[in-house]
Amino acid sequence: MTAPRMLHPGAWWLWAVALAACALRTTNPVLLSLIIAVAGWVVVSRRTDVPWSRSFASFLRLGLIVVVFRVVFQILFGVRVPGTTLFSIPEVTLPSWAAGVSLGGPVTLESLMAALYQGLRLATVLACFGAATSLCSPYRMLRALPTVLYEAGVAVTVAFTFAPQAIVASRQVREARRLRGRSDRGLRAWSASALPVLEGALDRAVALAASMDSRGYGRRGGASVSQRRRSVGLVLLGLVALTIGSYGLLDPAAPAAFRLPALAVGVIALVGSLVAGGRSAERTRYRPDPWVKPEWIVSVAGIVAFASFVFADRMGDALNPSTNPLEVPAVPVVAVLGLLIATLPAWFAPPPPTLAAVSTSMAVAA
Amino acid sequence: MIRFEHVTITYPDATAPTLVDVSFEVPEGELCLVVGVTGSGKSTLLRAVNGLVPRFSGGVLAGSVVINGKSTADLPPRDLADVVGVVGQDPAAGFVTDYVEDELAYAMENLGVAPEVMRRRVEDILDLLGLHEIRHRPLASLSGGQQQRVAIGSVLTAGPRVLVLDEPTSALDPAAAEEVLAALTRLVHDLGITVLIAEHRLERVVQYADRIVMVPGDGRPVVVGTPAEVFGQSSVAPPVVELGRLAGWSPLPLSVRDARRLAGPLRERLAEVELSAFRRTSRVVGDVVAITDGLQASYGPITALRGIELQFRAGEVVALMGRNGAGKSTLLNHLVGLREPASGTVRVMGAEPHRLSAHDVVRVAGLVPQDSGVLLYHDTVAAECSASDRDAGLDSGTTRSVLDQIVPDVNPTAHPRDLSEGQRLGLALSIVLASEPPLLLLDEPTRGLDYGAKQRLVELLSRLADEGHAVVIATHDVEVVAAVADRCVVLAEGEVVSDGPARDVVIHSPVFAPQVAKVLAPLPLLTVHEVELALAAVGDLPFS
Amino acid sequence: MGVIALAGLIVTTSGRAEASSCSGPLSGGEIRVVVVVDSSDLGGGASATCLVVPAGTTGSQLLARRSAELGTGSVRYGSSGLLCAIDGLPAAGCGDHNAGGFDYWGYFIGRSGSWVFGNINPFTRRLSDGDIEGWRYVRGGTGSAQDPAPRIVPSQSLFPSLRPGEPAFVEQPAAASGTVPSLSSSMTIDVSPEQTFDSLDVASIATTTLEPIAVEGVALASSRTSDSNLGRWFAIAAVFVLIAMMTGGAWIQTRRSQ
């Protein structure tokens, strides 16, 4: 076991993105549940003690809401593929211009299971994302961003913190309603608390911006205006080209020029902007996180899990069990082994420095 | 070092300028105190030092502000980061990272300082501010005083020569405030940094100040000078200064030590007087309004209150004191029914408040929370008043008239968030008082109030107690406690440490004694008003 | 799962046993409809089947009944509800991309002599007496009215005659089969792939009669044996034991750190 330190945020995010990519490849509920369990296990073993580390539970709850919504949508609006009917809800015939949508009708077991699988897949992706934010808070990720992307990253991070703060603020405002003699439950309480919460969020954002500005955020440093414009322009060009390229890959009807050439242009532009931006060296980093063996182990564990899923996909159909007709999902051993390898970070990543670790080390030194 | 030249600042949509023709100069290495009533423009003055006004807030700044030879008209705040460091009122709102060390290094990262230099400076600041034991802690787990010191450190690492702080000790208990002020004086005396502070609670700070800038507000000219010069005439003064003015001491004492040296004759004279006649008479207390029996409260695994047994009677003003985190706010929340006790009971007028509906509980107990802004969620003051009348089932205009008694001249079309602290507190108080609850609770009402507003609050609370309300006020401000409280309850770590008449609890405590008591010890006098009454009774005013 | 599918099919087959014949009189609440399936592009043929179904059956339910009656295996759908395969054709794939278009089963509605591309939802379209539905496998189609229609022309002559006393089947040359087809509850007319017809050419028609459907032959939904199902349940149980261990360990760790 290595000495306590914080892992490079890129390693955690790479691992989490690999798990999310695995989840996107499958609708097998057994594998998806295993992915969630793996993510939860690693989070509980290696999370830090900042407030962001408790976010995993919130993401799990959000995933549950997603699954419920998906199933309810299927019951109300889903395509009425014939199957074993469980129950029926009254059907509403829609005018011919809405012919593609069905409202009501018999609800079949197969369609419910299909909705459950798809909702579970989304919930798993959310859980992977929640694991990433739990293991390294967005602020740490921000510090690891290259200089050119830094300012965009700050906007994203501040937007990130809106949700948890809004939840806390809305609870305070609803309690305050009780102090004024109005009930703090019910729809009226929630809707009336929206405006004060938003005003409070705006005040906080302005205070944060003033504090950051007073400490030199956004300094031009040595770069001239034209240099900055050039690097920002390259970043924008790269992102647009990447978007076009990924769309082209997904849509078979797109002309060939919109696929790999667009992707290549995007990657070259982004790399160029990083190189150009890096040369002016506007920001330095205090104690940058090293990328050594534990980081490699964590990233490779995630990549191995993803590779095992690709392999299992080639080998058969088990990653997408059929729901019409309904069958018992098969469990591909390769994928399970890959996911077990993805739990390695729980042992091989260094434990984060917690209060207990610090105080014992100081007691030993004293 | 700091030079303001004919500075006039007008905010957008304002009818009159906030500051008119302000000119003063602060030499290097001085601690300069900015004083004035709430809403007079102190914050505006402070934020103009590094250019946040007008670049961040909007508005027009006429004149020039020059810091160490650099004008704020030429450079935006981020380019002045290595010249001026600004710490806002709420340090937690300005934190950008998760951990103490990262926060300290943030300014240097923005400035592009080399990594070895960064490490050295972080270690220096940790030692200077006494933060080395908490260097690995997440910022969210720090106490208020520690957060304030980390915020100061985070602007200091950039190496500025000027430090600007807006009410750094308002949210801190006396001990934490002393830590922060000690750190600031060390910066001034050891490093020669120029420090500009705005404070309401002058009694803590004025002894360290080299220069005072008094902002009277309403566009009147700013008064600049040494403390003795400025406080000789002003109405805003700490109790020690007022005592000195009353007793005719010269030069005016600024600290308890200076006052004690001059107070010998006054003490001898007062020792001959029968003082019990001039104490603030205790009110006649009525029936028990609220009672807690074995109250236990917890937040998750942390126990906030243990076995609290207290009674609150009508006509009594009870002061709840103790360190931050001792459980004062928790007790108030339980008394108004926002939280349910883990065990034990809370009864207000015979009912358990957490079981009552919101409509019923405001007729029994009313709480003005620490952040009075959470109570206000309408667009204008007039809308708040009429909503409050509707909720309490009163005739329209009742809340408005209560508001006018507490805080006169509030613009009815103003947005509640644009009001000054004192006005916002007054508005919240009038809303809570509209339904006339027998038990009135206030959580840290004196934060952000100047002496005049505090005096008005004290008079209001006395009047309410005379009318038969039970008033409970949780506060750090010992002067207010001395002026208005009949009884004092001290909490520590969730338990009641002492509960008795305010005079007895407060007078001999080194932490909770007001300045007058410390100066005139062992005489049992708490406020300047009592001294005045005693002297007048024996015909010794003016004292010489 | 197989048991449930089996039960469903038993319901279907028993329903069929009670339905009246396509050529005989209808009981109350029943209608006659014809469904044309053209899988010529896949190597199959084009066939038209007359079925008697309860009123208000949807287009998709009709397809399911047709598969049940003909014994050609249940219709395969994708997870989004897209129809993938009828009669097991194509064997794999569903709406795949092909040369700038899609390979899919197009849905048509027969109206007085011509096919109209169905912009109607087959899952909600309720059939009435005398409706003719068509399905054609399109290669490289665009999903619009330009796609080719089934090769059998929709006309009332696809329905067997109702007049009592008349033979309830289309006339045929004696050379075709040599036997007189007996009355059956549904009739299928097959057309060979290369020929298209404007009207029925009696000489080239061959009729087939249906055998009563054997229950086990139709139970294609559960094509797996129960043994491999048991193996799968074991694997699933093993993975859930793993998940329970991880969740339990995480729970204990959370408790200990508090």
SS3 B470: strand
Q: What is the mean pLDDT of chain A?
A: 83
The pLDDT value recorded for residue A279 is 60
Task: Name which of B526, B515, B518, B516 is nearest B204 in CA terms.
Answer: B515
Q: Does A206 touch chain B (CB under 8 A)?
A: yes
Q: Over the stretch B151-187, which tens digit does the pLDDT of each residue have?
A: 999 999 999 999 999 989 888 888 888 889 999 999 9
User: Under a CB-based contact definition with an 8 Å cutoff, are residues B98 and A139 in contact?
Assistant: yes
Domain limits for position C95 = 2-218
User: Under a CB-based contact definition with an 8 Å cutoff, are residues C68 and C210 in contact?
Assistant: no
Helix-helix angle B144-156:B100-111, to 10 degrees: 20
User: Under a CB-based contact definition with an 8 Å cutoff, are residues A320 and A28 in contact?
Assistant: yes
User: Under a CB-based contact definition with an 8 Å cutoff, are residues A102 and C123 in contact?
Assistant: yes
Mean pLDDT value of segment C2-12: 44
Q: Count interface pairs A-B at CB distance under 8 A.
A: 175
User: Under a CB-based contact definition with an 8 Å cutoff, are residues A336 and C246 in contact?
Assistant: no
- Same domain (yes/no): C197, C235: no
Chain B, 44-63: which have a CB under 8 Å from a chain A CB? 47, 50, 52, 56
Residue C118 belongs to some domain of the structure: yes
The pLDDT value recorded for residue C222 is 46
Distance from CA of B544 to the nearest CA of A (A): 51
Poorest-pLDDT segment among B111-115, B357-361, B402-406, B444-448: B402-406
- Same domain (yes/no): C171, C251: no
Strand C76-77 relative to strand C46-54, pairing: unpaired
Q: Does B273 touch chain A (CB under 8 A)?
A: no
CA-based R_g, chain C, Å: 23
Task: Name which of C183, C189, C185 is nearest C168 in CA terms.
Answer: C183
- Same domain (yes/no): C213, C242: no
Distance CA C209, CA A355 (A): 83
Q: Would you state the structure tokens that stand for residue A67, as one six-digit string?
A: 């699954």
Q: What one-character DSSP code corresponds to residue B211?
A: E
Q: Over the stretch B210-266, which tens digit does the pLDDT of each residue have?
A: 999 998 877 788 889 888 888 877 777 888 988 988 888 888 888 889 899 999 988
Q: Over the stretch A206-217, which tens digit does the pLDDT of each residue have?
A: 888 888 888 888
Q: What is the count of structural domains for chain C? A: 2
Task: Name which of C139, C41, C44 is nearest C95 in CA terms.
Answer: C139
- At C188, the pLDDT band (50, 70, 90 cuts) reads low
Q: Look at residue B497 and tell me whether its pLDDT is greater than 70.
A: yes
- Same domain (yes/no): C211, C232: no
Report angle CA A129, A135, A140 to the nearest 5 degrees. Answer: 95
Tell me the CB-side half-sphere exposure of residue C253, using CA atoms within 13 A. 15
SS3 B442: strand
Q: What is the length of chain B?
A: 544
B369–A137 CB contact, under 8 Å: no
Q: List the single best residue of A44, A48, A103 to mutate versus C (max C Cβ within 10 A).
A: A44
3-state secondary structure chain C: CHHHHHHHHHHHHHHHHHCCCCCCCCCCCEEEEEEEEECHHHCCCEEEEEEEEECCCEHHHHHHHHHHHHCCCCCEECCCCCEEEECCECCCCCCCEECCEEEEEEEEEEECCEEEECCCCCCCCECCCCCEEEEEEEEEECCCCCCCCCCCCCCHHHCCCCCCCCCCCCCCCHHHHCCCCCCCCCCEEEECCCCCCCCCCHHHCEEECCCCCCHHHHCCCCCCCHHHHHHHHHHHHHHHHHHHHHHHHHHHHHHHHC
B118–A286 CB contact, under 8 Å: yes
Provide the CATH number for the domain around residue C79: 2.170.130.30
Mean pLDDT value of segment C179-205: 41
- Same domain (yes/no): C169, C242: no
User: Under a CB-based contact definition with an 8 Å cutoff, are residues B437 and B491 in contact?
Assistant: no
Chain A, 115-154: which have a CB under 8 Å from a chain C CB? 117-118
Q: Which residues of B188-203 are buried (b: 16+ CB within 10 A; e: fewer)?
A: beeeebbbbbbbbbbb
Distance CA C75, CA A83 (A): 10
Q: What is the mean pLDDT of chain C?
A: 68
Domain spans in chain A, listed from the N-terminal domain onward: 9-281+291-358
- Same domain (yes/no): C40, C148: yes
Domains of chain B, first to last:
2-235 (3.40.50.300), 238-279+527-544 (no CATH), 313-340+352-519 (3.40.50.300)
Residue C39 belongs to some domain of the structure: yes
The pLDDT value recorded for residue B274 is 77
Looking at the DSSP bridge assignments, the partners of residue A87 are A107
- At A22, the pLDDT band (50, 70, 90 cuts) reads very high
The pLDDT value recorded for residue C168 is 38
B78–A172 CB contact, under 8 Å: no
Residue C223 belongs to some domain of the structure: no
Strand B470-474 relative to strand B439-443, pairing: parallel
- Same domain (yes/no): C146, C236: no
User: Under a CB-based contact definition with an 8 Å cutoff, are residues B413 and B421 in contact?
Assistant: no
Distance from CA of A99 to the nearest CA of B (A): 46
Q: Which residues of A53-69 are buried (b: 16+ CB within 10 A; e: fewer)?
A: bebbebbbebbeebbee
CA distances from C169 to A354, C27, C181 (A): 86, 20, 8
The pLDDT value recorded for residue A2 is 67
C79–A80 CB contact, under 8 Å: no
- Between the two ends of chain B, the Cα-to-Cα distance in Å is 41
The pLDDT value recorded for residue C203 is 35
C246–A82 CB contact, under 8 Å: no
Q: Look at residue B59 and tell me whether its pLDDT is greater than 70.
A: yes
Distance CA C216, CA B390 (A): 75
- At B366, the pLDDT band (50, 70, 90 cuts) reads very high
The pLDDT value recorded for residue C206 is 34
The pLDDT value recorded for residue C216 is 37
The pLDDT value recorded for residue C122 is 79
Q: Would you state the structure tokens that stand for residue B472, as one six-digit string?
A: 């409970």
In A, which residues are within 8 Å of C4 by CB distance?
A: 84, 109, 326
Q: Does B123 touch chain A (CB under 8 A)?
A: no
- Same domain (yes/no): C161, C108: yes
C79–A320 CB contact, under 8 Å: yes
Distance CA C71, CA C211 (A): 10
Poorest-pLDDT segment among A40-44, A54-58, A146-150: A146-150
A216–B158 CB contact, under 8 Å: yes
Strand B162-166 relative to strand B194-198, pairing: parallel
Q: How many CB atoms lie within 10 A of CB C238?
A: 14
In A, which residues are within 8 Å of C61 by CB distance?
A: 82
Mean pLDDT value of segment C41-59: 82
